[in-house]
Amino acid sequence: MTLPTTTPYDADRAAYSREALARIALCSQAVSTARTASVLVATRNDVDTGPGGRASEALSLVRLAECALTRAVVYERERGASWEDIGRYLELGPAEAEERFAPALARWEEALETPRRLDPTGRKIVTLLPAGAYDPKGAVRSLDLWARQHLYINDRHPVSGGLSDSPAPHDLEGRIRLGDVRRFLEQLSGYVGQYGDDLAWDEIARGLEPTDDSVAAWYTHTLEGSMHLVRVRLAHARPHDSYEAVEPDTVSVVVTGSDDSALSLRVDTLLDVFGVGR
């Protein structure tokens, strides 16, 4: 097996600074840690874990927290913190802090240069970058949704909005097959509270026909229901450069206006269900 010289997310990573990539990796690790911590909250299924089971889950939490600490140190170094700054909070001397986290920083540097490699068998591709930093665009969208669901803050972009030197926060977007566009819109119209024969599919099909996302030629359709109002931008997906591969009969979709976190989660799920290349 020959390892490709490019990855599907090279352009997305290039749009983010090293500092932002490190922060996204920390965000992703924090979510993994929080999800594991939540397992220890409910008591109903204690009997199902067996003797020592909860201690095992707590140990997993500790290990994830250690990973979060490592990701935090990498991020702090990327944003210019000195070893003295870091050591002060970890109750370590500067040299001791550097010695402890130097291997993790070396792995981070290597992964930035070589995001993937073949495993020893030569048959499997191994991702070296930590979760989130490999596919930052997808990770940021998922993290924004997770934060809106669990942190209960009035911010549509609680993660992407604060990243330094990164692309502007984006709305929910993806690519779906041309034959699935109608079903996607019908499902979304139900979510916003627009029912009956209000989809106006013939008009949408005519508007979609001349579109091309590579030259920003989009068609916009508004879905206004009893509960929400969203705008759906549609365009035939084309390669934006010579490195981008686009499946035939694919449509780019951008959904704006989903201020409600529950609706945003539903839209994201729809884009996953109908998605191509996500």
Same structural domain, 215 and 116: no
Three-state SS sequence of 16-84: CCHHHHHHHHHHHHHHHHHHHHHHCCCCCCHHHHCCCHHHHHHHHHHHHHHHHHHHHHHHHHHCCCCHH
Kindly state whether residue 123 falls inside one of the protein's structural domains: yes
Whether 140 maps to a domain, the answer reads: no
Judgement on whether residues 38 and 118 belong to the same structural domain of the protein: yes
Selection from 52-61, 164-173, 232-241 with the highest mean pLDDT: 52-61
- Does a structural domain hold residue 200? yes
* 22 lies in the same domain as 115: yes
pLDDT of residue 66: 97
Q: Are residues 236 and 175 in the same domain?
A: yes
pLDDT at residue 198 above 90? Answer: no
Q: What is the mean pLDDT of residues 232-261?
A: 81
Q: Which of 264, 255, 250, 252 is nearest to 142 (CA)?
A: 264
Tens-digit pLDDT profile for residues 22-57:
999 999 999 999 999 999 999 988 888 889 999 999
Residue in 78, 81, 65 with CA at minimum distance from that of residue 24: 78
Q: Is the same domain home to 98 and 199?
A: no
Whether the pLDDT of residue 221 is over 70: the answer is: yes
Contacts for 229-235 with beta carbons within 8 Å, 24 or more apart? 229/192, 229/257, 230/188, 230/192, 230/255, 230/256, 230/257, 230/258, 230/263, 230/267, 231/255, 231/256, 231/257, 232/185, 232/188, 234/181, 234/204, 234/207, 234/208, 235/208, 235/211
Please check whether residues 15 and 123 belong to one and the same domain. yes
Instruction: Examine the pLDDT at 197 and tell me if it is beyond 90.
Output: no
Reference 113, options 18, 33, 199; nearest CA is: 18
Q: Is pLDDT larger for residue 247 or for residue 185? A: 185
Measured distance CA(95)–CA(134) in Å, rounded? 30
- At 235, the pLDDT band (50, 70, 90 cuts) reads very high
Whether 240 shows a pLDDT value over 80: the answer reads no
pLDDT score for 244: 61
For residue 245, the model assigns a pLDDT of: 67
pLDDT at residue number 199: 72
In a domain, 155, yes or no: no
Do 175 and 119 lie in one domain? The reply is no
> Is the pLDDT confidence value at 152 over 90?
no
The closest alpha carbon to 79, from 163, 169, 168, belongs to 163
Q: Which of 73, 108, 127 is the last residue of a domain?
A: 127
| Mean pLDDT (whole number) for 121-136 | 90
Assess whether 74 and 180 both reside in one domain.
no
In a domain? residue 257: yes
Say if 43 falls within a structural domain: yes
Tell me the residue range of the domain where 95 lies. Answer: 10-127
Same domain, 43 and 116: yes
E strand residue ranges, 139-277? 172-177, 219-224, 229-236, 250-256
137 assigned to some structural domain: no
From 112, 127, 142, the end of a domain falls on 127
Whether 21 and 121 share a structural domain: yes
Confidence of residue 70 (pLDDT cuts 50, 70, 90): very high
Provide the domain count of the chain: 2
- Of 100, 127, 154, the one marking the end of a domain is 127
Q: Note whether residue 151 is domain-resident.
A: no
Phi/psi-derived region of residue 237, left when phi > 0, alpha when psi is between -120 and 50, beta in every other case: beta
User: Are 94 and 196 members of one domain?
Assistant: no
pLDDT value, residue 71: 98
Q: Which residues pair with 230 in a beta bridge?
A: 223
How far apart (Å, rounded) are the C-alpha atoms in residues 233 and 231?
A: 7
Question: pLDDT class for 123, splitting at 50, 70, 90?
Answer: confident
